[in-house]
Structure 1
């Protein structure tokens, strides 16, 4: 990748090619629970390089408005939220969720100046515990993507937000790189440590998967495959969906429901929203059986989170971070308990992605066969950004919500089977396949 391409694909501020592409889509901005009730405290939100203020008005509607008051530039974060609008405490100017100035109390009663002033505000929609915002140019808004996990009944979806101190693409590329699991997460686990016939057993028995990668209407899909029991192949099937969604292959294909959103806050910070269907029939990481005789080798899934602050980058910060080397324990690394020495699975990923720097210089890379999915996703992103900038071609999925009706997961197939045809039904969202819980380990 050239330096020009690296800048094009990573920079998301207003006016940049990738930032313009991102603004064609609805993007998750914050949790609904961050604005718990009407007229509650406003929240600072950094989104696609813009400083914005989120508030819930007296009718329960969510607004996302520019940080600076259009009058003299004071921050609306300090505003009084009530009477169906946020009121700047500097001079009392009040704005509704649409950015209309609805009161200008320091002006004469006969003045109609408030009708000539409007704040920049973005449309918001709540669905599945997330507040989605549209920062694009369309007057007629595009549809929200049909992401299955974001449309589950209340209480059936868990959302885990985490802020990463790195560029959004580093986070995405970490998710679509499947071979690292056999090292970073499970490098200390040997085949004899785990039940034979399980997904994890096949992962650690052969740490160099082969790949089949295909372009899709929504992005890119890969199948990473390894030998399983005689006559069968173990497949890990995962998705990249424009502009920054991934679906990981951890669960049983046809049953596991997960989508991860890697939302750029700015060029150097990412807000991850991990959305997963709750299911008591599955373990914390489906398809993996407990390690026999040495549970310490199994990385902890949940990491502690610091209390939120009101700072621009103060939301959902992990307590296991760069300031404490992500909990690195050299003794555990040396004695083989942890391959990385970092006991928390999500922190293992963040340590790798954040240690690359805020934006990694990809001109320094030496990509290999195992990076085929990373290479393909970059090409799709670059092509889509250029097509929009040069020919006004609408990016994939913007007007086609149904293309997001996908699932990912792991499956064991007969050797030589056409993995795309054999998994077509199982990859369809909004369907039930209870039989897969019996057929797969």
Structure 2
């Protein structure tokens, strides 16, 4: 368990908080590119680390991420007109460029204008992998671009989605890192095919309780879940945790044929504020085979358009309707009675409360990945406080992937999967 002070340190990410200041040292996913699809399209509200912001794509295609509120009288620039290389407030006509500089004041004459003295807060952005990223830290500490493997493949080979989770970001991250729940929460009682919303027992929930090996990396840590398959084999799943909120996880195939696909998925849990986060979901093919339309539905995970409102990014199955739990399904088809693997995750995490009280928990050996992640996060906060760079603000994670294999019971897992988790340049798509 954690002390109250440690729990607050890990979960509070607003301006000026130690965790928030550490997390601002990384590139942060802010919007899907299609949310601001063309020059002069409508602006979009964005909230990151409890900061209300507005994003727009100007007439030249440049992206601005500004304080949401006009410097004049404080109304929202989201109402503004995106036109002629700037975002103009509709109240008094003050106009801002992508740097936050006020460039025109409709309510002042040329003689009385003081636009050159006015600037609203702005943050740098970049666009990679169909995502607009923001950097919110010190200008002199901008890290290399976030070139995760999935950002470096063609659009035909990747899929990215997002959904709002109604709890603190750390609950989501810890749920992703926790592997001992997979064969329980996501268990299907139907062995002939994958039950909607559940992963097939024959793949993701094999064997009994897992054992774990966890090792530090320069960007976070890797963790390996090992499940017995009878007396002669073991089922090994290797993951990477990339600071501060990214999980790279193995692909979970639906059948033996899919087991040959060279796919790699993952998640990022980005704070909106201390009581809500955005779960970013991505999957990409690092082989020649592109993703199919069916791959993009995210049907078993319930993250796609059939399950998540594409305007609000709220799941149709959520806390206010009890995630549409079906008790008959719970008795006969799956362990939870809830459709969608990630809906199941969100249900148990959201019911921990908006900010989980970790002073009351009792962790065991199966929770090692969570314990280590907390240690890495706390150490990173201390490093930033001491004027040092936190882990993962370099390029060390660029080639990180995940891996899954069935190996002999006496075979070392490192020999079997490490090359797959960190492929050489010759064995993967080039990352420039």
Q: Structure 2 length as normaliser, TM-score?
A: 0.88
Which residue number in structure 2 is paired with residue 347 of structure 1?
343
Q: Is the 8 A contact 1:302 1:346 kept in 2?
A: yes
Which residue number in structure 2 is paired with residue 372 of structure 1?
368
Aligned-residue offset at 1:23:
0.6
Which residue number in structure 2 is paired with residue 289 of structure 1?
none
Q: Is the 8 A contact 1:202 1:227 kept in 2?
A: no
Q: Secondary structure at the match of 1:265?
A: strand
Whether 1:420 and 2:414 are equivalent positions in the alignment is yes
1:344-398 residue CA offsets vs partner (Å, 9 max, x unmatched) = 2221111011111111000010111110110110111011112212x11210011
Alpha-carbon distance in 2 for matches of 1:204, 1:133: 37
Alpha-carbon distance in 2 for matches of 1:200, 1:34: 37
Whether 1:326 and 2:333 are equivalent positions in the alignment is no
Please tell me the root mean square deviation across aligned C-alpha atoms, in Å: 2.6
Which residue number in structure 2 is paired with residue 402 of structure 1?
396
- Judged with a 3 Å threshold, the aligned counterparts in structure 2 of structure 1 residues 13 and 104 are, in CA distance, closer, same or farther, namely same
Aligned-residue offset at 1:30:
0.5
Aligned-residue offset at 1:271:
0.8
Q: Is the 8 A contact 2:69 2:75 kept in 1?
A: yes
Which residue number in structure 1 is paired with residue 139 of structure 2?
138
Query: Superposition pairs for residues 131-170 of structure 1, below 5 Å?
Result: 131-139=132-140, 141-170=142-171
- Judged with a 3 Å threshold, the aligned counterparts in structure 2 of structure 1 residues 159 and 135 are, in CA distance, closer, same or farther, namely same
1:49-92 residue CA offsets vs partner (Å, 9 max, x unmatched) = 10000111001111111011111111111111100000011111
Count how many residue pairs are aligned between Structure 1 and Structure 2: 410
Which residue number in structure 2 is paired with residue 15 of structure 1?
16
Q: Is the 8 A contact 2:50 2:272 kept in 1?
A: yes
Q: Is the 8 A contact 1:254 1:432 kept in 2?
A: no
Whether 1:177 and 2:178 are equivalent positions in the alignment is yes
Which of 357, 379, 385 pairs up with 2:381?
A: 385
- Judged with a 3 Å threshold, the aligned counterparts in structure 2 of structure 1 residues 172 and 112 are, in CA distance, closer, same or farther, namely same
Alpha-carbon distance in 1 for matches of 2:399, 2:65: 28
1:239-281 residue CA offsets vs partner (Å, 9 max, x unmatched) = 1110100012334699322231111111111111111015568
Aligned-residue offset at 1:317:
0.6
Q: Is the 8 A contact 1:145 1:402 kept in 2?
A: no
1:15-55 residue CA offsets vs partner (Å, 9 max, x unmatched) = 00110011101100000100011111111111111000011
- Judged with a 3 Å threshold, the aligned counterparts in structure 2 of structure 1 residues 107 and 283 are, in CA distance, closer, same or farther, namely closer
Alpha-carbon distance in 2 for matches of 1:112, 1:419: 68
Aligned-residue offset at 1:410:
1.2
Alpha-carbon distance in 2 for matches of 1:281, 1:21: 35
- Judged with a 3 Å threshold, the aligned counterparts in structure 2 of structure 1 residues 81 and 6 are, in CA distance, closer, same or farther, namely same
Q: Secondary structure at the match of 1:379?
A: helix
Which residue number in structure 2 is paired with residue 261 of structure 1?
268
Alpha-carbon distance in 1 for matches of 2:308, 2:205: 34
Gaps of 5+ in 1: 286-297, 310-314, 435-441
Whether 1:273 and 2:307 are equivalent positions in the alignment is no
Q: Is the 8 A contact 2:207 2:229 kept in 1?
A: no
Which residue number in structure 2 is paired with residue 290 of structure 1?
none
Q: Is the 8 A contact 1:179 1:207 kept in 2?
A: no
Q: Structure 1 length as normaliser, TM-score?
A: 0.86
Q: Is the 8 A contact 1:58 1:82 kept in 2?
A: yes
Query: Superposition pairs for residues 59-74 of structure 1, below 5 Å?
Result: 59-74=60-75
Q: Secondary structure at the match of 1:425?
A: helix
Indicate the larger mover: 112-121 or 45-54: 112-121
- Judged with a 3 Å threshold, the aligned counterparts in structure 2 of structure 1 residues 302 and 27 are, in CA distance, closer, same or farther, namely closer
Indicate the larger mover: 344-353 or 21-30: 344-353
Alpha-carbon distance in 2 for matches of 1:242, 1:162: 20
Q: Secondary structure at the match of 1:404?
A: coil
Alpha-carbon distance in 2 for matches of 1:387, 1:426: 31
Alpha-carbon distance in 1 for matches of 2:193, 2:130: 39
Q: Is the 8 A contact 2:33 2:127 kept in 1?
A: yes
Gaps of 5+ in 2: 253-258
Q: Is the 8 A contact 1:10 1:359 kept in 2?
A: yes
Which residue number in structure 2 is paired with residue 439 of structure 1?
none
Q: Is the 8 A contact 1:255 1:432 kept in 2?
A: no
